[in-house]
Amino acid sequence: AVLVMANLDASAVAPEDRVRFYKLKVQSVFERVKKLQSKVDSDALADHSDSTLNVLLEHIDKLSHSFSKAHESLEELDFTEMSSNLRTDFDDLIMVMQSTLMSEVQSRTAQ
């Protein structure tokens, strides 16, 4: 009975509220990734241990999945979000950060 109530409550949320929630969610994840960018700056990489680099890569991957899941839900509710620059900006930032970290990890492994 509790499970049924939870489903009813979730489905009773107005679509506008869900759209607002997902917009806030994707923006929040994007801001978190932008804050992480300073840790991935090439000048800052030398200060990080190998394990820190790997943890950063894993964390960026988790944030990427979180963003994608929320943005896909947002797109289902608001079709105009499919042409949003936010996804492109997010993907560009993630790719640069991942490639920078992977290059650093590989260069350390090669030494």
> What pLDDT sits at residue 111?
77
Q: What angle (nearest 5°) sits at the alpha carbon of residue 47, between those of residues 43 and 53?
A: 95
Angle between helices 50-77 and 15-40 (to 10 degrees): 160
> What pLDDT sits at residue 13?
65
Structural domain contains residue 76? yes
- Quote the percentage of the chain above a pLDDT of 90: 77
Quick: pLDDT tens for 5-58. Answer: 444 455 566 789 999 999 999 999 999 999 999 889 878 898 899 999 999 999
Structural domain contains residue 6? no
Residue with tokens 């620059």: 85
Q: What is the pLDDT averaged over residues 66-71? A: 98
Domain count, the chain: 1
> What pLDDT sits at residue 2?
45
Structural domain contains residue 5? no
Quick: pLDDT tens for 80-109. Answer: 999 999 999 999 999 999 999 999 999 999
Structural domain contains residue 8? no
Structural domain contains residue 70? yes
User: How far apart are the C-alpha atoms of 53 and 45, rounded to whole Å?
Assistant: 8
- pTM of the predicted protein model: 0.82
- The domain in which residue 62 lies consists of 15-110
Structural domain contains residue 7? no
Structural domain contains residue 53? yes
> What pLDDT sits at residue 78?
94
